[in-house]
Structure 1
C-alpha cells in the first residue's frame, strides 16, 4: 500500500487498513481454528485435535485461550466469513495504530478505531496533555504475545477480548523539548486486555476498540 502523506487521507487509510486485516477472508482458505494456548495433549488424543485443528503459528504466538473457544465457534456460526488468524493479525495492527494515534494526538484516526467510553477517555487525556504543553515520544518496541482470552456473541453483537504483552519505550517532553518523564533506552513491559466489538452483518467491516484494561 503506498504511503499516505496527506492528513486528509488518514481516516480513509485507517478504514481500508482495518478492512483488509480485521476479520476478512480471502475466500479460498479453510476456516482456521487455532489451537488453545494451554493445549498440550499427546498426538494420540484424537478427539480434541480433530475438533480443534492444530494450526498454530508457534513463532508468532497467535493463539486463543480455551475459555474463548465457545464464543469463537458462536461467532463463526453467525458469520462464516470470520477468520481467527486474520482477526488476530488485524488486532495487532489495530493495537499499534491506536497507540500511535493516541500518542500523536490524532483524534480523527482514533474515531475510526475506537468507540464508546474509551474514545472519550482518550480524547480527554489528549486534551489534558495539550493543555499542559506536553508531547509524547513513545515507541512500541515489540509485541511479545497476542492471545484471545475470551469471545462472546450477544444477539448479533460479537465481542473479543485480546491480550497484548508488549514492550513500550515512553518519553514525555514539554513545549521546550525538555524531558519531563521516561527514557527511550529502557522499554517498559505493558500487559493490556482490549475488547473489540462488531455487529454481525453490519455494513461496517471494522471492529472497534470499546474497552481497555490491564491484564492480571
Structure 2
C-alpha cells in the first residue's frame, strides 16, 4: 500500500473505498499514561511505521459521516494509511530540502513555511540527518465538511532520530542513537466536487 502511494507521489487513491475493508471503530477513552523517558533506537519496535489500526476520536465521527455521505468512495482505513505515507514523505522531503516534492504534497502556505525553514538552514550551512524511526499512532482527531470542502486532522505520535551538522560536517545537535518522541497534528484538505482525488496538507501544528 505504501509503495502505491509513493509511486503516485500524492497518494492519489487516498480515501478510496474498495468494499472489502472492515468498518473503522472509534478509539475508546483511556486514562493518561505516566510519562516515560525517551527510548533509544533499540527500544522502538521495527514495525511501528506500519499502520497501527483503524481509529478516530469520537468527536470526529459526525464529520467523517458527513464526508462519507458527500463522497461514498471515501474510506477511513485507506485514508489513515495514506496519511501515514504522506507524513513520512513530507518529513523526508523537508529534511532533504526537496522543494519540488513539497510542492506536490502541501498547499502554498505550508510549502512556503517549509521553504523558509530550508532557506534558513542552508544559509547557516547546516544539513539534517534525520530518520523517521516509526509511527506509534495515527489517529483522526477531527473531521469537518464545509460545503464540499473536506478537512481531516490527523494526530501522529512518532519517533525521530535527528542530527544537525554544520558546514564542516560536525554534529551540532541531536543524536542518531536516540529516538526522540514527537507529536504532530496535521490537517489534510480536499474539494470533494473536484475530479482531482488528491488530499493536500494545509496546516501543521504540534499536538498536545
Larger radius of gyration: 1
Residue 161 (1) aligns with residue 153 (2): yes
Matched, 1:75 2:67: yes
Give ranges in structure 2 of 5+ residues lacking alignment.
31-50
Runs of 4 or more above 3 Å deviation: none
Q: What is the CA-CA distance between 1:13 and the residue it aligns to?
A: 4.3
Determine the C-alpha separation between the residues in 2 that align with 1:206 and 1:106.
Answer: 20
Shift of residue 94, structure 1, vs aligned partner: 0.3
Instruction: Please state if 1:183 is matched with 2:175.
Output: yes
1:48-127 equivalent positions in 2, closer than 5 A = 60-127=52-119
Q: How many residues align?
A: 185
Inter-partner Cα distance in structure 1 for 2:65 and 2:198 = 20
Q: TM-score if structure 1 supplies the norm length?
A: 0.80
Distance 2:76 2:82 in 1: 10
Q: TM-score, normalised by structure 2?
A: 0.83
Indicate the residue corresponding to 1:14 in structure 2.
Answer: 9
- Contact 1:62–1:145 (Cα < 8 Å) also in 2: no
Please name the residue that 1:29 is paired with: 20
| Consecutive unaligned residues in structure 1, runs of 5 or more | 4-10, 41-58
In the TM superposition, what is the alpha-carbon distance from 1:25 to its structure 2 partner?
2.8
In the alignment, the residues of structure 2 paired with residue 61 and residue 188 of structure 1 have an alpha-carbon distance, to the nearest angstrom, of 22
- Matches of 1:193 and 1:94 in 2, distance apart? 13
Contact 2:54/2:76 (8 A) holds in 1: no
With a CA cutoff of 8 Å and minimum separation of 6, indicate the structure with the bigger relative contact order. 2
Cα RMSD after superposing both structures: 2.0
Task: Tell me the distance in 1 between the aligned counterparts of 2:123 and 2:175.
Answer: 22
Q: When you count helix as a share of all residues, which structure comes out higher? A: 1
TM-superposed CA distance for 1:206, in Å, is 1.1
User: Which residue pairs with 1:204 in the alignment?
Assistant: 196
